[in-house]
Amino acid sequence: MNFDARKYVITAFILLVGGIYTIRLFYMQVVDDTWTLRAQEIAEKRKEITPPRGVIFDRNGKKIVSNRTYYNLMMVEDNIKKLDTVAFAKLLGWTREEVRNRFYEIRKGEGTYYNKHSGKTTSNYQKIRAYPFIKELTLEEISTIAPHLENFPGFYEEVTSMRNYPFSNGANILGYLSEVTREEIDEDRFYKPGNNIGRSGIERFYEKELRGIKGIKYVVTSALNNAIEPYADGKYDTTARQANPLRLGMDMLIQAYGERLMQNKKGCIVAIEPSTGEILAMVSAPSFDPNLLVGKRNISLNYPKLATDKNMPLFPRPLQAEYPPGSIFKLVQSLIGLQEGVITENSGFPCDKSVVGCHNHAMATNIQAAVQYSCNPYYYAVMRRVIQQNKKKNMFADAELGLNKWYDYMLSFGLGKSLEADVSGQRSGVIPNAAYYDKWYGHHRWAFSTIRSISIGQGEVKLTPLQMANIAAIIANKGWFYTPHFVKSIGRKGPLPQYKVKHYTKVQSKHFPPIIEGMRRVVNEAGGTARMARIDSMIVCGKTGTVQNPHGKDHSVFIAFAPMHNPKIAIAVFVENSGFGGTWAAPIASLMIEKYLKRKIKDKEKEKRIIEAKLSNIESLPSEVENQNQGD
């Protein structure tokens, strides 16, 4: 008996059968779309239950984002039999033409699919699938429709929910939802037509944490595709689970108060808890009520108005506006100078106005006085020593070495790069290095004298208000920070891991006390530039800035922290087109600090002055600010 021959015959037979099955399977799955449609039809017996979106609380347990029940009028075209479009249109309060157009919109919205193997183009729309015919109906609206749906097979009501914002504040922080696109459905199988997804703010950043876990319900259907009973008595069904709540570090009382202080003004406020990095408030002015962008109908009505408003309420200034910081930048320059050893705490420089303009004040004989008086010539002298340390014989090579070292310090303060807070749409600001100036002037064609305006936070330097507030937090902590973030805890798990990591600057903690003392003098001593930021029975440490604006009135900026010992709040205030930093930004910051720490305001006249002030100018350009200021 020839066993070898039999072996080859059996092997060939197995390979032949396997090849036939492989070809048939390829044809069914790739070439022939009808098998895909059958699989989808079977899958429609598996009903997905979408849970309500996770709720959001502030640091004090106030519910600031919740859900409100709405209804969708759903349709399955395969179940629609002899639709009386005239009667159906009358029920909806539509015209017959509007009903027909809605069917067309749904089909068109699903797009098409091209099968590269068969060369066929087919619609993604499936008659067996449920689609929302009308979304976001209120209880009153669905109540007039639902009792009559038995006359219109293929249509049914579905309970859904939409966001609700109990407070009309924090729109740029919280963000909004809108309907998913076909591309998003293809990328993530969690979504189905008509579902919503976070588009901006916290709603976008924490989309996966907020959407929850879908439930599954299996049903047995009749020949007419009607559900008649749960499959296997519900044995394989799973329950939809709402996401754990998000608990923010934000204080909604302070957020609302900040928006009130900034009414009729352009600019922003950012407040951070230094010990945790939690963002207490982030005001972008002008702002808007987040309820204006709840649901497709509201978005269609309100978004175009907000987008074309010259005051740019949709523009998140704290995250995306890049402003020259002005004299608040001198704090960081002081620290770098001390760390580099090019100055000491007792270094003094004359206020030589022939070098750069400055206001009248006593000579800054030490670093505390330099901060207190905000002396421009002092910081030109400091920055010259940082940049030109005579470590290279060639002046231009020496400047290149010094500037790149300075740049590394700046990066350690979180400047010149995105801080990566837990909200979408952040910019990095601008911190120039040697490569930056090489592009402008050529390699070894510039030195300190070319770039000296960066000494006082002008010229090419730009920061976001979030970065400005973080500088105040770093100084309050004497050299370290947590990345600023909104979410204090996801359920009971705490914040995301990256917000538990301490970041240290390249400046040792021993250099911070003299700078803090200078900031104390700015607010609390004669000759300081922020006397209007004083608060009774509390020591506020701050620094003003007046940013020159070639397009109009100067901008007012102030950063601070309080109390001086064991700081609880660090803050940055930027008011566009309002002039001197101590006149507007400083008192706004003091009111925010007092409201947060004491929950009430003692100086009602100061509060009234700020609230009633109208400083906005819609023609201003918020980020195009250059040149040199004249001190503070």
Instruction: Categorise residue 290: left if φ over 0, alpha if ψ from -120 to 50, beta otherwise.
Output: alpha
Within 8 A by CB and 6+ apart from 349, the residues are 364, 370, 375, 377, 378, 381, 382
C-beta contacts of 21-28 below 8 A and 24+ residues apart: none
d(CA 358, CA 381): 14
- Which pLDDT does position 233 carry in this prediction? 63
Q: Identify which of 361, 323, 393, 408 has the alpha carbon closest to the alpha carbon of residue 525.
A: 361
Helix (H), strand (E) at residue 589:
helix 585-598
**CA distances in angstroms from 45 to 51, 154, 389, listed in the order given:** 19, 15, 76
- Which pLDDT does position 628 carry in this prediction? 39
Strand order from edge to edge, sheet including 227-230? 46-49, 215-221, 227-230
pTM of the model: 0.84
Do 408 and 415 meet the contact criterion of CB atoms below 8 Å apart? no
DSSP secondary structure, 128-157, as one string:
TSEEEEEEEE-HHHHHHHGGGGGGSTTEEE
Q: Which residue type sits at 28? A: M
3-state secondary structure 24-48: HHHHHHHHCHHHHHHHHHHHCCEEE
Residue with tokens 């070898």: 4
Do 216 and 49 meet the contact criterion of CB atoms below 8 Å apart? yes
- Which pLDDT does position 134 carry in this prediction? 92
Counting Cβ atoms within 10 Å, is residue 61 exposed (0-12), middle (13-18) or buried (19+)? exposed
- The neighbour count for residue 516, using CB atoms within 10 Å, is 20
Within 8 A by CB and 6+ apart from 142, the residues are 71, 73, 157
DSSP secondary structure, 172-240, as one string:
HHH--EEEPPHHHHHH-TT--TT-EEE-SHHHHHTHHHHS-B-EEEEEEE-TTS-EEEEGGGGTT-B--
DSSP secondary structure, 89-101, as one string:
HHHHT--HHHHHH
**CA distances in angstroms from 230 to 75, 216, 490, listed in the order given:** 21, 11, 35
**CA distances in angstroms from 126 to 39, 44, 131, 438, 505, listed in the order given:** 12, 11, 9, 59, 58
pLDDT, mean of each 10-residue run, the chain (632 residues): 61 67 58 48 63 94 94 91 92 94 90 78 86 90 93 90 93 93 89 89 96 82 54 71 95 97 96 98 96 91 93 94 94 97 94 78 90 92 94 94 97 96 92 95 94 92 97 98 97 95 98 97 91 93 87 88 97 90 92 96 94 71 38 58
Within 8 A by CB and 6+ apart from 531, the residues are 523, 582
- Which pLDDT does position 623 carry in this prediction? 38
